[in-house]
Amino acid sequence: MFTDEALDIVSVESQWRKSQQLAQESRGCQTRPVRTAEVEIQALLTSDNGTQTVPEDHLACQLPRDGELLPELSRLMDFLNRVEGMVIKELSTNAKSHAFDGFDVNWEDHNETVSCMHRLHHPSAQEKGLHVTSVSWSCTGSVIACAFGRVDDGDWSTEKSCVCSWNLDRRGLDPKRPDTVIDVTKPVMSLSFHPTVPSLIAGGLYSGEVVVWDTNRTQDPILAQTGLSADTHREPVYQVAWVPGSRRGEVWVLSAGSGGRVLLWTVDLDQGRLVLIAGYALVGKQVPHNSVVRKAGGSSSVGVTSLALSPWDSDTFLVGSEGGLVLKCSFSAQTLAAVSPDGESVSLRAPAQFSFSPRGGPIHSLHFSPFHRNLFVSVGTDGLAHLHSLLQADPLLSLQVSDSYVFGVRWSPTRPLLFAAATGQGLVQVFDLGRRSLRPAATLDQLTGGQPVYCLEFNPRRTDLLAVGNADGSVNIWHLSTELTEQGHRETAQLEQIANEVAE
């Protein structure tokens, strides 16, 4: 039915593809030719300079021949020959003179006014009615620290206080917000910055403890403390200071309290405590050359209210007592103190070597002159500032400072004849011993409503600044005038004359 059959190939050409190929066109595109050009430029600078000396024949007409002098030069030589001997004599005399010893030239603009730059306070301390009991400048002169405590009666068992500091160079200084606040469980009675480390502060507490704080340690600022051991003070510590140690670069802490003890401590960083290395006790019967005190005091302790270190002799220090005594003492004293042992780890020695004429009440402050090794000034409850010489018992000069108590005194670091005193009437009186009148050269009103001024300190670096601590819990920073800071002519010689007149 079905059979195979081979047929020829049939092909059908695509009309659509052919139509599409015919519709295609070729197109081309090319950018315009890029034009280029080469240009060269060169600058040529030339300069010609020339100089011509005066012709030799012209110079020969002006200069003298060998052995000859012009009339003007001849008169000059005659003058120099006449005055040569006189000038050499005066120069030799001036070279031996000490009239300008210690005089520093001040090239800055003169400031004729005294102004209060800052009035610093801690609101929390003021709310508690705490007093500023001590102020201290850091070794850089930028930071001022103050201790808060009480000078009048108070509940000492529960009273808390603090230590505050302000950096005066800090941008945006807030006088009501201290840069550092260290809370303390007891009132702080004394304060002293480390002489070379600006973050270390030593403080003495009303409880008798001595503490060293490190302001760089924000969590626990206590670097070392005495604690309530047998070695520590039993009474308020009214003075702390840093003194050079036995090894180079070493610094010890010195403390003095109303219990009659002057103690020397070294800082043990490993154990975080102060270790007693030397102790001194002031006993009435061991006070030299003062029979009145011996009869009245007997073997009782002489309460220390103030202390001063000599900048001239590292072995000498002064103490002021509650009974009005000023005693010259020595660190190297070997005589044992006439006190019964009370568990101290060292033997207490009797340091007093000389007694000055007693006053009628406590000695609140002492300060050595930085310009004369034998002079110091003392103030207390009699309202007078007494200028003393280490060479005699009676004062050289007594100045009426206030009708009330005088709580602090400091010698100027730049003026040999000037010192400032803090009074119980809210004033700081500045005295110039070079004046004919014994009245104050300046009076700084602290604007505290008549409340006392308890402490003051000159800035060791920026000597035109004076910090003043007040009973209302404020610290005033005063900028002093040039007259009060710039040393005058022959001031050192005048101070020497004052010391010599009495010594003779």
What are the pLDDT digits (tens) for 364-414?
Answer: 999 999 999 999 999 999 999 999 999 999 999 999 999 989 999 999 999
pLDDT at 69: 58
Beta-carbon contacts of 184 under 8 Å, excluding residues fewer than 6 positions away, are: 160, 161, 162, 163, 203, 205, 211
pLDDT tier, 218 (very low <50, low <70, confident <90, very high otherwise):
confident
Evaluate if residue 9 carries a pLDDT over 80. Answer: no
What are the Cα distances from residue 303, in Å, to 300, 350, 364? 9, 14, 12
In terms of Cα–Cα distance, which of 217, 216, 153, 206 is closest to 184?
206
pLDDT at position 14 is: 65
For the cut 70, the answer to whether the pLDDT of residue 10 exceeds it is no
Question: What pTM was computed for the model?
Answer: 0.76
Interval 106-112 mean pLDDT: 59
Strands 406-411 and 131-137, by their bridges, are unpaired
Average pLDDT of span 29-36: 70
* From 116-130, 284-298, 354-368, the region with the lowest mean pLDDT: 284-298
* Integer Cα distance of 429 and 421 in angstroms: 5
Q: What is the pLDDT of residues 38-67, one digit of tens each?
A: 766 666 666 777 776 655 555 454 555 555
Residue 279 is predicted with a pLDDT of 94
In this prediction, residue 402 carries a pLDDT of 93
Predicted pLDDT at 291: 44
Q: What is the pLDDT of residues 248-278, one digit of tens each?
A: 888 999 999 989 999 999 999 888 899 999 9
Kindly state whether residue 102 falls inside one of the protein's structural domains. no
Count of domains for the chain = 1
Position 195 confidence tier, pLDDT thresholds 50, 70, 90: very high
**Whole-number pLDDT of residue 413:** 95
Residue 421 pLDDT:
97
Query: Does residue 432 lie in a domain region?
Result: yes
169-183, 261-275, 337-351: lowest mean pLDDT where? 337-351
pLDDT at residue number 435: 87
For residue 297, the model assigns a pLDDT of 47
Region 230-242: mean pLDDT is: 92
CATH number at residue 152: 2.130.10.10
| 103 is a domain residue | no
Say what the pLDDT of residue 222 is.
Answer: 95
User: Strand, coil or helix: what is 82?
Assistant: helix
pLDDT of residue 26: 55
Q: What is the pLDDT of residue 294?
A: 45
For residue 489, what pLDDT is reported?
Answer: 81
State yes or no: pLDDT of 199 exceeds 90. yes
- pLDDT range class, residue 145, cuts 50, 70, 90: very high
- Does pLDDT of 337 surpass 80? yes
More confident residue, 180 or 4: 180
Q: Which residue has the higher pLDDT, 22 or 248?
A: 248
Tell me whether residue 34 is in a domain.
no
Mean pLDDT taken over the chain: 86
Residues linked to residue 366 through DSSP beta bridges, in sequence order: 378
pLDDT > 60? residue 2: yes
Domain-embedded: residue 40: no
In a domain, 458, yes or no: yes
With respect to residue 120, please indicate whether it lies within any of the assigned structural domains.
Answer: yes
Domain containing residue 376:
115-503
- pLDDT grade, residue 107 (50/70/90)? low
Instruction: Evaluate if residue 316 carries a pLDDT over 60.
Output: yes
Question: CA neighbours within 13 Å on the CB side: how many for 55?
Answer: 3
Burial of 265 (0-12, 13-18, 19+ CB in 10 A): buried
pLDDT at residue 490 is higher than 90 = no
Strand, helix or coil for residue 78: helix
pLDDT tier, 229 (very low <50, low <70, confident <90, very high otherwise): confident
> pLDDT-derived band of residue 154, with 50, 70 and 90 as boundaries?
low
The per-residue pLDDT for 65 is 59
**Is 66 inside any structural domain?**
no
Give the pLDDT confidence of 284-309 residue by residue, as tens digits.
888 886 544 444 445 588 999 999 99
For residue 19, how far is the Cα from the chain centroid? 106
Check: CB of residue 373 under 8 Å from CB of residue 331: no
The residues, any chain, with a CB within 8 Å of residue 146's CB and separated by 6 or more, are: 120, 132, 134, 135, 136, 163, 164, 165, 191, 469, 475
